[in-house]
Structure 1
Amino acid sequence: MDYEQLAKDIVSHVGGEDNIISLSHCTTRLRFKLKNNDLIHKVDITKLPGVIQVMFIAGQFQIVVGTEVNDLYREMLKLTKLEGHASQKSKSDEKESLLNKAVDLISGIFTPLLGAMAGAGILKGCLILAVSLGMLTEADGAYVILHAAADSLFYFLPIHLAFTAARKFEAEPHVAVAIAGALFYPDIVDAYNLELDMSFFGIPVVLMKYATSVIPIILAIYVTSKLELVLNNLYPKTIKRFFTPLTLLAIMVPLTLLVFGPIGNTASEWLGVGYSYVYDSSALVAGALSGFFWQVLVIFGIHWGIVPITLNNLSQFGQDTFTAMITPAILAQAGAALGVWLKTKQKRVKAIAAPATIAGLFGVTEPAIYGITLRFKKPFFIACMAGAIGGAIVGVSGASSKSVGLPGITTLPVFFGEGFVLFLFGVFIAFFLAMIGTYFFGLEEQIEHDMVVEMEDHSETVNKQVDDSIVLSPLTGAVISLEYVNDDVFSSEAVGPGVAIIPIEGYLHAPFSGTVTSVFPTNHGIGLTSDAGIEVLIHIGIDTVQLEGKFFDMKVKHGDRVEHGQILGLFDIEGITGEGFDVTSPVVITNAYEYLDVMSGDEENTTIGDRLLTVIK
């Protein structure tokens, strides 16, 4: 491919260098932000050699060129005066349902904060426990300092949300933080505390407390992002850098105090009243339903939609009973994984069950669900039933969290207070019921026998010379069709056919013996060519180019010789998901046009070294 000529043609067909606001790339595509999309010659671009597909996604013009994108990108930087910019996370809005859009929006705003929230929540719970046991008093200097450390994130939550919302809505983060900061400015806070009358050019301002609030600032930053786009197109290039922030601050701070504050506060009150109505109608039923269905929501990824409810409960009532009711469901999955570990005699199953149990105890249940309980089916249902029983007990107890925290053994002090003893009983009964139920009833001999035979066959496959038409699994996890991947390029098979894996272990292995043909600079993608000529692209996660290499450690480089089963790299699943990114990892054949067909099995789960894809010559 003539990268220099292709780069020149692309720049010309997107309206020239002056029409380009920014240029970035991921593993397979160039991402443009353009001033005027009407200047794009889309048809001409699709005819260029090396271009696979073009598309508009979330305000970006994207050109898919495959694994050679890095070489093309470097050539474009040489050709122009552009500088590389990290792209914002984007998704196609065309195929997403309203529910998926809402969940994606909420997770994108809140998940970056969950790690800090969990740490602050644990510290706050420990302080509550220390005061209750007489180890500290609220007047002690140690308590005052540590309480400030634990509570500052929640008190200034709108400022943190302003930053994450700005990243999600693609607004200027520092302007967003300035808007949120104005809500906490001493003069504004004093006016609220002293109940002073305030107006803005004759328009009365309804002052309120914004500490720990959620909805007002999200509404404000969403509108800010839309207004920013208008202003950037309105102001000349020479002055917009200064005049756009000036206009945004002058308009959005008053608008937030006059409109979004009252609207958001009213919505928060309604949400709190609605939750209270459901909980007060029958805490037992609410707890049972929460305990049973919580992990079902986790499977479909819509559990993130509940996060605003828990935060709103803390803001409105100073406590949250919902987090308490779902804690048994989380520990129950850990218990079920432990039951499998105790029951099975298979070393490979034990190797998955042990870390899955530990992760579940600390509140991360995906390894237990995808690696163990769903794999054997019955343990998942047993854990859901145990979670329902524990949830009902916790619901009746009246226990609640006093701070945000990822439910697990480290955050139990957060629930200290009313009903704490009964809460602990509900949590541990769920854990032990799931463990005992799984041990005695969760593993069927036939299923385990089939698993043993399958694993032995796969082990033999890995330890002998692999057929040159086979691509082995580079990851361990759940297998899904590409059509369910939340990325148009992969789901449409524009790059090539294959499958996607939702990994439960952060180890990437070679799917065959061959050569490393490309390693993405941020280490989240790798291209390989087998000795027989099969070209494979492995992309860890969706849109993980934005992590800029964080959580990835590639052990090989371009040109290296690798053998099947050899470890290629490591990645931190918890770290990636904690930043709000999907770890679903496509594995595709990029030169499938050279073969008659590419076939995949019908297995729902895979282990490193399993037969994953077969090319038909």
Structure 2
Amino acid sequence: MKYDKDAAAIIAAVGGESNIDSLYHCVTRLRFGLKDNALADQSALTAITPVMGVNDAGSQYQVIIGNDVPDVYRAIVADVPRLSTEDAIDGAATTTGAKQKLHTRFLDFISGTFAPILPAIAGAGLLKGILALSNSFGWVDPSSQTFLIFSAIADAVFFFLPIIVAVSAARKLGANPYVAASLGGLLVYPALTALLGTGEAVSLLGIPVTAATYSYSVIPVLLGVYLLSWVERGLTRIIPSFLKLTFVPMFSLVIVAPVMLTLLGPLGTFVGSGIAGGINWALDNGGVPAGFVIGALLPLIIMTGMHYTLVPFILQNLATLGYDKFLPLTYVQTFATAGAVFGVFLRAKNKQIKALSLSTTFTSLMGVTEPALYGLALPLRRPLIATMAGAAVGGAISLGFGVKAYVLAGNGGLPGLPGLVGETFVWAIVGIVIAFIVSAVVSTILGIDESILAGTAEKTPATAPIAKKADASAPVVAPLAAGASEIVSAPLNGTLVSLDDVPDTTFSKRLVGDGTAIRPTSGWVTSPVNGVVATLFPTKHAVAVRSDSGVEVLIHVGLDTVNLKGAGFTAHVAVGDKVAVGDLLLDVDLAAVGATHDTLSVVVITNSAKYTVEPGTTGPVRAGDALIRVTPVVAATRGAHV
């Protein structure tokens, strides 16, 4: 194998095989989970031929390789077979580095578990809202077979929620998802549910089993699957290979299931009820002040993904109380964001910013706020203040009048309004409308500094986005001649960000190549050049296109998005496909991806050592706009200019 010696050197340089807990790779780097990052020798690693650099991310020790990372990974796995897992290439392997902080691991676990299943919950929740709305207006007969069947469709995901959560948690923790599903199924098994519901004492091996209803619950099964992940790893180490297929799952179930029924299940129910009770007390009794504070902070909470920690308690409230008071605040935040960027539209003079603000107003009203928050509010800062102001006022109204949500619709915009239908619906509408108006007014009054997004385009032509449109109708069919340049088009709509400002040293230090970054406002990723798809990563978060002249362009959507394992990404091409500028490569659900990861996307020339690369670094950009000028080094040394 080509990288045999390099693989052995890398293993030694990260502290040896005994220091490696886990390994997977993304499109450019090896991601090690080390027992102790301090044992890794950075100098030794960077001296190894294929290694471009090292990034110590605490929970991961990243060794940057570049385009050859799959080959290096395979060489390492050949030396240490235990590092090969079914999901290693798509980021499902978990890291257990000692330096990862407890709260970071907890947030990562919760968001990584619930993000993949939210579409099912949101779809079913919205259907429940529509059914409730239809029933309220007398459009349907609630006793009809059609209504009952649709109700079953909407309720099924919640009734069997322990099974769905178990599978997602197992994938996040690296446990067997089907064994985990068996544990979730046990909690809703009809015969067991009936036994626990008789009111008589139930015991398992002489240990009392607390009667509890686990349908709609999430915390008991989360604890059970967490224990399963440890039990499976322990059994895998001690059971001979030829017996693992049957005995590891059997002993896992025999060990974990009783503990879950007698200890973890009741404990999870108790803890969940206690925390939910505390949250509900604050929401019930905090009134206007609590609504004002929570509303003001909610845009920041949602941008960091911390709101995912409340999903289990929201579901528990909906199951036990029939409503939840936190969810209406998310609607308030959504409409406040829409109002803030609408205020930008009213004040902006730059046509591109005006168009961007109007389009993100619409997407926000539809419940997708990430383009507005990351594309406008955050970089412009003043609209973020306006968002917080509107959300604060709307939140005060919401909690002040006890607004309730009755289903988790999964969308805090106009499509999700059926989730609010009930006795407090009028006040819910009042809260979100006022949130929109306050944010729009504050945003208009504060104004914006348009130079942050567009003001430097005319002053710095050497580094600003190239103004002309790339000519997709004239494909380059031969290597660039001396003195010739090639234009790489923007693959995304959004706002340009200098590569220096990307919070990932692999890109900011140009270890993979020179280029630029885009804060996207839409999820359509198009081809930047005429050429062929050279690489499409299995998780679809990154794609490389080689132009007809040999320029290799990598588009990496989001940061650390390999960990999403493809969730939120749809590929429209395959390796080897011929593409032209503007052809659709990927479709990205920015809302889903942005809920847990930074959507800042990188466009770099991976073979930039052969070229002089002149990237755009500031201002708004649309897919198809000329983005990077690439000139062969030979031409550059002769003083050629475009």
Which TM-score applies when normalising by structure 1? 0.81
Does the residue aligned with 1:253 lie in a helix, a strand or coil? helix
| Aligned with residue 185 of structure 2, among 181, 185, 188 | 181
2:569 to 522, 531, 551: 551
2:425 is the alignment partner of 1:420: yes
Partner of 2:374: 370
Match of 1:479 in 2: 497
Check whether the contact 2:485–2:630 (CA below 8 A) recurs between aligned residues: no
Q: 1:538 aligns with which of 555, 576, 586?
A: 555
* Distance in structure 1 (CA, Å) of the matches to 2:370 and 2:277: 32
Q: Which residue of 2 aligns with 1:201?
A: 205
Q: Could you tell me which residue of structure 2 aligns to residue 50 of structure 1?
A: 50
Residue in structure 2 matched with residue 505 of structure 1 by the alignment: 522
Output the CA distance in 2 between the equivalents of 1:248 and 1:613.
58
Out of 398, 402, 409, the residue aligned to residue 398 of structure 1 is: 402
Q: What letter matches 1:50 in structure 2?
A: P
Residue 149 of structure 1: aligned partner:
153
Secondary structure of the residue aligned to 1:518 is strand
Where 1:385 maps in the other structure, the secondary structure is helix
**Per-residue deviation, 1:156:** 1.7
Q: Over aligned residues, Cα RMSD in angstroms?
A: 4.7
Alpha-carbon distance in 1 for matches of 2:543, 2:231:
39
Mapped contact 2:305–2:595 kept (Cα < 8 A): no
Q: Could you tell me how far 1:374 is from its partner in structure 2?
A: 3.1
Match runs of 1:156-555 below 5 Å: 156-344=160-348, 346-405=350-409, 406-438=411-443, 440-444=444-448, 447-448=449-450, 453-454=455-456, 461-463=467-469, 474-475=491-492, 476-477=494-495, 479=497, 485=503, 495=512, 500-508=517-525, 518-522=534-538, 523-527=540-544, 537-541=554-558, 542-544=560-562, 547=565, 551-553=569-571
**How many angstroms apart in 1 are the aligned matches of 2:245 and 2:56?**
26
Question: Matched residues in 1 for 2:378 and 2:597: separation?
Answer: 22
Deviations 1:142-192 (A, max 9, x none): 332222111121222111110110011110000001011111112211122
In 2, Cα distance between the equivalents of 1:598 and 1:344?
A: 32
Equivalent pairs counted in the alignment come to 600
Q: 1:586 to 1:93 in 2, by over 3 A?
A: farther
2: distance between equivalents of 1:472 and 1:100?
37
CA distance in 2, matches of 1:270, 1:480: 47
1:592 shift after superposition: 7.0
Name the aligned partner's letter for residue 520 of structure 2.
Answer: P
Displacement after TM superposition at 1:119 (Å):
1.4
Residues in 1 aligned to 2:284 and 2:21: alpha-carbon distance in whole angstroms: 54
The Cα shift of 1:479 comes to 3.3
Q: Does 1:585 align with 2:601?
A: yes
More moved, 86-95 vs 289-298: 86-95
Letter of the structure 1 residue corresponding to residue 50 of structure 2: G
Distance 1:442 1:416, change over 3 A: same
Q: 2: distance between equivalents of 1:431 and 1:256? A: 46
**Which 5+ residue runs of structure 2 have no aligned equivalent?**
13-19, 35-39, 472-482, 638-642
Shift of 1:386: 1.6
> Shift in Å at residue 14 of structure 1?
6.5
361-370 vs 50-59, which moves further:
50-59
How many Å separate the matches in 2 of 1:59 and 1:460? 39
Question: Which residues in structure 2 correspond to 1:94-105 (within 5 Å)?
Answer: 96-105=100-109
Shift, 1:408, TM fit: 1.6
Name the one with the larger helix percent: 1
Counterpart contact for 1:503–1:584, Cα < 8 Å = yes
8 A Cα contact 1:292 1:388, kept in partner: yes
SS at match of 1:321: coil
Give the alignment of 1:27-38 within 5 angstroms. 27-29=27-29
**Secondary structure of the equivalent of 2:403?**
coil
Q: Distance in 2 between matches of 1:112 and 1:459?
A: 36
Are residues 431 and 195 of structure 1, via their aligned partners in 2, closer, same or farther at CA, if it must alter by over 3 Å? Answer: same
Contact 2:3–2:71 at 8 Å: present in 1 too? no
What secondary structure sits across from 1:5 in the alignment?
coil
DSSP-derived class of the 1:273 partner: helix
Give the deviation of 1:581 after TM superposition: 5.6
> In structure 2, what is the Cα distance between the partners aligned to 1:500 and 1:92?
30
Deviations 1:457-484 (A, max 9, x none): 6575334899969988654246376786
Supply the distance in 2 between the matched residues of 1:467 and 1:295 (Cα, whole angstroms): 47
Task: State how far apart, in whole Å, the 2-side matches of 1:536 and 1:14 are.
Answer: 30
Q: 1:37 is matched with which residue?
A: none
**Structure 1 unaligned runs (5+)?**
35-39
Q: For residues 561 and 373 of structure 1, what CA distance do their matches in structure 2 show?
A: 34
Q: What secondary structure does 1:519 align onto?
A: strand
Query: More deviation in 450-459 or 410-419?
Result: 450-459
Deviations 1:215-246 (CA, angstroms, capped at 9, x unpaired):
11111111110111111111111011110000
Q: Aligned letter for 1:196?
A: E
Q: 1:584 to 1:452 in 2, by over 3 A?
A: closer
Amino acid at match of 1:131: N
Percent identity between the two aligned chains = 32
Question: Which amino acid is the alignment partner of residue 409 of structure 1?
Answer: L
1:32-79 per-position Cα deviation (integer Å, ceiling 9, x unaligned): 999xxxxx9999987653244689999999764311235667899999
Matched residues in 2 for 1:135 and 1:332: separation?
32
Task: Provide the C-alpha distance between the structure 2 equivalents of 1:488 and 1:199, rounded to a whole number of angstroms.
Answer: 56
Counterpart secondary structure, 1:213: coil
Distance of 1:397 and 1:165 partners within structure 2: 37
Over 3 Å counting, the alpha-carbon distance change for 1:329 and 1:610 in structure 2 is farther
Q: Aligned partners of 2:587 and 2:202: how far apart in 1?
A: 53
Q: Distance in 2 between matches of 1:175 and 1:491?
A: 42
Q: Is the 8 A contact 1:376 1:443 kept in 2?
A: no
* 1:479–1:606 CA contact under 8 A, matched in 2: no
- What is the CA–CA distance in structure 2 between the aligned matches of 1:208 and 1:246, rounded to whole Å? 25
8 A contact 2:133–2:421 mirrored in 1? yes
More displaced stretch, 462-471 vs 215-224? 462-471
Alignment partners' CA distance in 1, 2:59 and 2:283: 42
Instruction: Name the CA distance, whole Å, in 2 between partners of 1:229 and 1:109.
Output: 20
Amino acid at match of 2:2: Q
**For 2:68, what is the secondary structure of its paired residue?**
helix
Deviation at 1:117, TM superposition (A): 1.5
Q: CA deviation at 1:352?
A: 2.0
Q: CA contact under 8 A between 1:528 and 1:536: conserved in structure 2?
A: yes
The equivalent position to 1:116 in structure 2, one of 116, 120, 125, is 120
Whether the aligned pair in 2 keeps the contact of 1:30 and 1:63 (CA below 8 Å) is yes
Q: Give 1:65's aligned amino acid.
A: I
In structure 2, what residue type is equivalent to 1:423?
Answer: A
* Greater Cα offset, 59-68 or 232-241: 59-68
Change (3 A) 1:279 1:189: same
* Larger CA deviation: 230-239 vs 406-415: 406-415
Shift of 1:357: 1.9
